Amino acid sequence: MNGTLLTLAAADGSNVGITIGIIVVLGVGAQWLAWRLQVPSILLLLVFGILAGPVMRTLFPGSPLAVDPDLLFDSELLLAFVGVAVGLILYEGGLTLNFRELTNTWKPVTLLVTTGALVTWIVAGVSAKLIFGLDTQIAALLGAILIVTGPTVVGPLLAHIRPSGESGLILKWEGIVIDPIGILVAVLVFEGIVSGPQHQGVNTVITAIAMTLVVGIGFGLLSALILKELMGRFLVPDFLQNPVSLMLVVGTFTISNQVMHESGLLATTVMGIVLANQKKVNVHHILEFKENIRVLLIAGLFITLAANLRIEDLKDLDWFGVFIFLAVLIVIARPIAVFLATVGQGLKWQERALLAMVAPRGIVAAAGASIFSLGLQEAGIPGGEKLVPLTFCVIIGTVAFYGLTATTVARMLGVADQNPQGVIFIGAPRWVRQIATVLHNRGVSVLLIDTNRTNIRAAKMEHLNAENINVLTMGNLSDLDLRGIGRVIAATPNNEVNTLSLQRFKGMIETVSLYRLPVKATKKTDTEHSDSHWRSAFGGGADYAGFESRIANGWVVKATTISDEFSYESYQTLYGSSAILLCVINTTGALSIVSDDKPTDPIAGDTVIALVNPEELFMMG
């Protein structure tokens, strides 16, 4: 008997281990594959979750490869995990929000999360009642759940679209701020349903809203101040700063929820925003840590919640009605909400059109539907079982639609910066300014950053975009206007500064687009090249000291267009082997930085930018 129990326990433990392994592999693998395929990650996460969960359980019942969240969680544990995870995601999102970004956009953001949210709620609720025949209260609850968009879906989509102008900032703020607002509305509707008509008075609703705001904002502000003081007074060692931050976020979420039901998401969002906008301590390393945590949380959440669906729930849906409902949300609700929120706000019509084309639903909607569906079932109120499948259909439908069309629409509208060609130069000596001027004159965005006021003053006199700042001490690099920027070249006379500067941009710009210029030519075995994972700018043994010497001796940066009559071989013959090829702009305007691992062979129509010696040209002539 004991042997049998041990065997069963071992089998269950094995299945649990397999399930956890599958969730992690599918979750992270889906995000990596989505990056490779250039599609929204949430779309693949949901597809993988449904295939691994309800589809596998139906086709291969009892298979250990079929993901069954019931093996890992009971209902209360699952909802607790989802709540904490969403709280952490919103905290990380809050850390990316800086009030400086709202200088020109605070009005449309405010209207989108208030007037726009109200429009979405009403249109979605009424449509759900008319199309699916839901009870009025259940329809109102579904409409409230679908108010939210969320950073887990908007963020990756914006990274894919890379919108120019103000539309990207507006969507980022809306995606984070709307989540606690949507959950608050859904909680009020839910409480009204389960408590009965006698507790649905206006005073009760106003009191609940006020209590949620006071508790959520209060605990979020208090926790942010505590963390700031702990770090500012050096009371937490460096290696514990991220764990202590994590502890405070989870603690804040839990305590706030205990004081006022579902105020925790607001508290964690406020905590992140307050920390992002204070100047006393640098929270950049905390943000990097939370970004890594977010990838794993999103992986686990989406796979788990999608796998928790049941085939029978999906079969019972009116699929024609689902498509009509999606059309109403996409074609009617969102455009009306955006129109009312942006009319008279000074935005271009193209930017307003893009705002109307981005409103995917994400993890908060999925979590909210799961939480409230379970609550309705426990209260014995019918209709709640339709919340989860309908919400997931909306999530999949909106993510698929917006993910597959928004980029094309943004390009057609001329508000997408899909492949940014711009360059940040860290360091602005004379030769850098010459390169920047040539690029600027050919339509490539440039930003020069230097701590040397003389260099920055000279750059501005040459009509170049330049900032007198230190990227190593700057609190938040997102304060920089990075629109149109896709590369960084660290070119200071200090190898360590170059390396550390690139490290700060890692995560904001792909590593493959981060370059450093060695201070002086050295052998690859030298210790200063131990950080060789950074790409070397300009290749061919180029170095800072050599550039300084050449510029001092009269060398110049020159742009030359290659043609059928004047080939690259002719160019090399004319300028000699001493010319240093820096970069190439092809016929489509794409910029390619020369490096040892990326040799360049210009063809007709390309513009070659190189450091050349006019005297050698004269002597050859």
Domains of the chain and CATH, by start: 2-413 (1.20.1530.20), 422-620 (3.40.50.720)
Q: Are 439 and 503 in contact (CB under 8 A)?
A: no
Q: Are 264 and 256 in contact (CB under 8 A)?
A: yes
* Predicted pLDDT at 363: 78
- Listing DSSP states for 100-131 in one string gives GGGTTTHHHHHHIIIIIHHHHHHHHHHHHHHH
Tokens found for residue 261: 């039901």
- The model's pLDDT over 372-430, given as tens digits with 9 standing for 90+, comes to 888 888 778 888 888 988 998 998 899 889 888 888 888 888 887 766 888 999 999 99
* Predicted pLDDT at 620: 47
* Predicted pLDDT at 571: 84
Tokens found for residue 383: 């209709």
* Predicted pLDDT at 339: 95
Residues 6+ apart with CB under 8 A from 4: none
Distance of CA 423 to the CA centre of its chain: 21
Most confident of 90-99, 312-321, 391-400, 429-438: 429-438
Q: What percent of the chain has pLDDT over 70?
A: 90
What is the 3 state secondary structure string of 167-182?
A: HHHHHHHHHHHHHHHH
CA distance 94 to 176: 7
- The model's pLDDT over 531-556, given as tens digits with 9 standing for 90+, comes to 557 888 887 678 899 999 999 988 99
Mean pLDDT to the nearest integer, 71-89: 80
Whether 596 shows a pLDDT value over 90: the answer reads no
Mean pLDDT to the nearest integer, 481-495: 87
* Predicted pLDDT at 9: 41
Q: β-strands 607-612, 580-585: how paired?
A: antiparallel
* Predicted pLDDT at 505: 86
* Predicted pLDDT at 478: 62
* Predicted pLDDT at 437: 95
Average pLDDT, the chain: 84
500-516 burial, b if ≥16 CB within 10 A, otherwise e? ebbbbbeeebeeebbbb
- The model's pLDDT over 152-206, given as tens digits with 9 standing for 90+, comes to 778 777 877 778 778 888 998 898 888 888 888 888 888 788 776 555 556 777 7
Which residue is it, tokens 């990316």? 96
Which residue is it, tokens 């629109």? 483
Which pLDDT band, with edges at 50, 70 and 90, does 276 fall under?
Answer: confident
CA distance 161 to 164: 9
Q: What angle do CA 180, 375, 89 make, to 5 degrees?
A: 30
Dihedral pair phi/psi, residue 115, rounded to 5°: -60, -45
Mean pLDDT to the nearest integer, 12-40: 82
- Closest among 175, 355, 144 to 269, alpha carbons compared: 175
* Predicted pLDDT at 383: 81
